[in-house]
Amino acid sequence: MKKILILLLFISFCGGTGESVLEQESRENSTRQSSTSTTVNQVDFRKLDNQYRKNDKFILPTFNGNCPHQLGEIIELFDYWRLEFGLNISYDVLGEPVFGTGSSLQQENCINKIVGSNLSQNIELLGNEHIEIIVGRKFDKARVGIENVQAEATKFINLETYGPISYAIHPTDQSKDLIADINGNIFLASNKETLYSVENITVKDNGGFLSLKYLDNNDYLIGFFTFEQSIYINLFQFSEKKLTKIKTLKEYKFPKYSKCNKSLLLVRIYNHCESEGAESNYIGHAGGGIQVHNGEIYIGLGDTNIPSSVFNSIYTTRDANLPWGTILKFEFDYNLLSLVGIGNHTESNLTEVWIKGLRNPYRFSINKNSIWIADLGTSVEDEINLVPLNTNNVDLGWPYYEGGFAHQPFDNVSINSITQKSPIFSERIGGLIGGHFLQINGKNLYTFGTLDGRLFGLEFVESGVLKYKINIKNTDFEKGNFLLSIEKSRNGIFLMSSSGNIVEIKNS
């Protein structure tokens, strides 16, 4: 019976057809050294130095707007300030598509020019800043390639349970690592002892216990699960070899809405209506991911909608008073033991909403200063999105956009009026499971998978995305075992499978 439930749980993980879209993330050495200042072409940047160094104050150049500066001249300026004045600043370079098939901007004049940064324009630099310079790139979808790479998987642990779905790595003590299964049982990874069983779990419709993660200190954990018509976010504490529930931090009640109450062309294309105007309760897409990074907590919520619905998602994802189809962002108040919303999206009335326009961000991850969101699509496209952590008011487009496809018509909505960020990759994946970065044979790949256990990796190349099929051995997914989650390990990734097997692939 549980196997039937898990199949139903993930049955809507089918994706769609499409192409890949670039958001190149290239890194440049942020600590260049030069033995003499003669390596700097002072003539080229003297005008910039006069413009941005005022009365012994160093002003961050104007980056945003109409791409006024070339990357090279700004790097020369920063290097000059460091060499001549000891300004202790560092920088990375990120790419953003501004022209070509992978961009909605189509600003050819901004290619290889700076279009933004992680800091506010024209602030005074104090000499201890790290600057992420965002440079305009061109992308041509036709240059996406596919290659094969071999990885070796090792069986890490087997639990006598069905559906291990989340791995909680303790920040400092490996003996406190925990594993949670979809039914709310929480185990100590070191000896597989059951420490806690969450009561009142609803394991259906993309629900159940979905994620468990440690906070930064005091052995607190955040757990996320569904029960009946609500999502619960609970606080736990692991002390003296016992796991205890402290309190419920958040409860989000699933919405009620009338389905198909507009007879539009879109409704006829996506023929999911039994009767016009019938009231509908939550059916699926709870989301489920949790990540903790630098004291901030990120939680992904789905659109809580019918698996095949596009039009009805307007009722849940586009209501400023609802949290659905979003990434939430919190700080944790250790004095009050509470979550404090810091997302502050301008199109939401909820302080915790940070990113909007998602269908089902079941798994996402954080690498360096960016969040990678795997969003499950309908039968059109699944997509992978890359969003810098310092970015605000991002809209990933759902339900108006799905990958590279524009859904329309929508009543009183112009598709061109929706400001959305294009995905870095979208195609018909089928059962998308978001992942983490993994080093394979010296390549640093964003590794993601599918419900049936296939693994893929993405590598950014100069003008596109290179997709790898990652071949693994020592797994049994072909026997009806499901891949439920890809979790970060201390030296690679874990594949969490429905049979109870947890397989590790180490960095190589």
Q: Could you give the CA distance from residue 444 to residue 464 in angstroms, rounded to a whole number?
A: 16
Mean pLDDT of 50-74: 87
Task: Supply the pTM of this predicted model.
Answer: 0.71
Q: Give the list of residues 6+ apart from residue 384 with CB closer than 8 angstroms, or none.
A: 372, 373, 374, 375, 423, 424, 425, 426, 432, 434, 446, 448, 458
Of 103-112, 114-123, 206-215, 325-334, where does mean pLDDT reach its minimum? 103-112
**pLDDT tens digit string along 69-88?**
988 888 889 889 988 898 88
Q: Tell me, yes or no, whether 421 and 438 share the same domain.
A: yes
- For the chain, the distance separating the N- and C-terminal CA atoms, rounded to the nearest angstrom, is 39
**66, 206: one domain:** no
Sign for the pseudo-dihedral over CA of 366, 371, 372, 378: positive
Contact status, residue 121 vs residue 114, Cβ threshold 8 Å: no
Same domain, 322 and 433: yes
Establish if 408 belongs to a structural domain.
Answer: yes
Q: What residues contact 342, with CB distance under 8 A and at least 6 apart?
A: 296, 329, 330, 331, 351, 352, 354
Q: Are residues 122 and 199 in the same domain?
A: no
Q: Are residues 292 and 216 in the same domain?
A: yes
Q: Position 359: which residue type?
A: R
Whole-Å CA distances, 43 to 51, 69, 76: 14, 16, 11
Which of 107, 140, 173 finishes a domain?
Answer: 140
212 pairs with which residues across the strands? 223
How does residue 413 score in pLDDT terms, banded at 50, 70 and 90?
Answer: low
Higher pLDDT, 99 or 282: 99
Q: What is the pLDDT of residues 84-104, one digit of tens each?
A: 898 888 776 666 667 765 555
Is residue 29 domain-resident?
no
Q: Are residues 292 and 350 in the same domain?
A: yes
Lowest mean pLDDT among 28-42, 185-199, 301-315: 28-42
DSSP state letter for 77: H
120 and 184 share a domain? no
pLDDT value of position 308: 52
Band (pLDDT 50/70/90 cuts) for residue 460 is confident
Beta carbons of 344 and 304 less than 8 angstroms apart = no
Tokens, residue 397: 């487009």
What pLDDT does 197 receive? 97
Looking at the domain assignment, is residue 25 inside a domain? Answer: no
3-state DSSP assignment of residue 259: strand
The tally of domains found in the chain comes to 2
Q: Based on the domain organization, do 462 and 502 belong to the same domain?
A: yes
Give tens-digit pLDDT for 12-30: 333 333 333 223 333 333 3
Q: What is the pLDDT of residue 379?
A: 67
Q: Are strands 90-100 and 53-54 parallel, antiparallel or unpaired?
A: unpaired
Asked, as a colleague might, if the bond just before 361 is cis with ω within 30 of 0, I would say no
**What CATH number did the domain enclosing 476 receive?**
2.120.10.30
Collapsed DSSP state (helix, strand, coil) of residue 37:
helix
Residue 258, domain extent? 2-20+145-506
Mean pLDDT value of segment 112-119: 82
Q: Are 398 and 460 in contact (CB under 8 A)?
A: no
Strands (E), 183-241: 185-188, 194-197, 209-214, 220-227, 230-239
Contact 323, 353 (CB under 8 A): yes
pLDDT band (50, 70, 90) for residue 419: low
Specify if 252 maps to a domain. Answer: yes
Based on the domain organization, do 108 and 128 belong to the same domain? yes
Which one, of 129, 126, 93, lies nearest residue 112 by Cα? 93
Q: How far apart are CA 404 and CA 387, in angstroms?
A: 17
d(CA 94, CA 85): 26
Q: Say how far apart CA 10 and CA 182 lie, in whole Å.
A: 12
326/450 same-domain check: yes
Distant-in-sequence contacts of 414-417, Cβ < 8 A, 24+ apart:
none
Q: What is the mean pLDDT of residues 412-421?
A: 61
Using DSSP bridges, classify how beta strands 432-440 and 443-450 pair: parallel, antiparallel or unpaired: antiparallel
Given a contact cutoff of 8 angstroms between Cβ atoms, the answer to whether 336 and 376 are in contact is no
**Is residue 496 assigned to a domain?**
yes
End position of a domain, from candidates 117, 140, 163:
140
Q: Is the pLDDT of residue 358 over 90?
A: yes
C-alpha distances out from residue 167 to 49, 164, 490, 502, Å: 50, 8, 11, 10
Instruction: Kindly state whether residue 28 falls inside one of the protein's structural domains.
Output: no
Same domain, yes or no: 380 and 483 = yes
Out of 140, 161, 190, a domain closes at: 140
- Whether 32 maps to a domain, the answer reads no
* Mean pLDDT, range 489-502, rounded to an integer: 94
Per-residue tokens: 99: 């022209």
In a shared domain, residues 311 and 451: yes
In the structure encoding, which two tokens stand for residue 190, read together? 């070191």
Six-digit token string for 255: 């919405």
> What average pLDDT does the structure give for the chain?
80
> Is 334:326 a contact under the CB 8 Å cutoff?
no
- Please tell me the distance from the alpha carbon of residue 442 to that of residue 284, in angstroms, as a whole number: 39
Tokens of 470: 């990652």
The proportion of the chain whose per-residue pLDDT surpasses 90, expressed as a percent, equals 44
β-sheet with 464-472: strand ranges across: 145-151, 464-472, 455-461, 443-450, 432-440
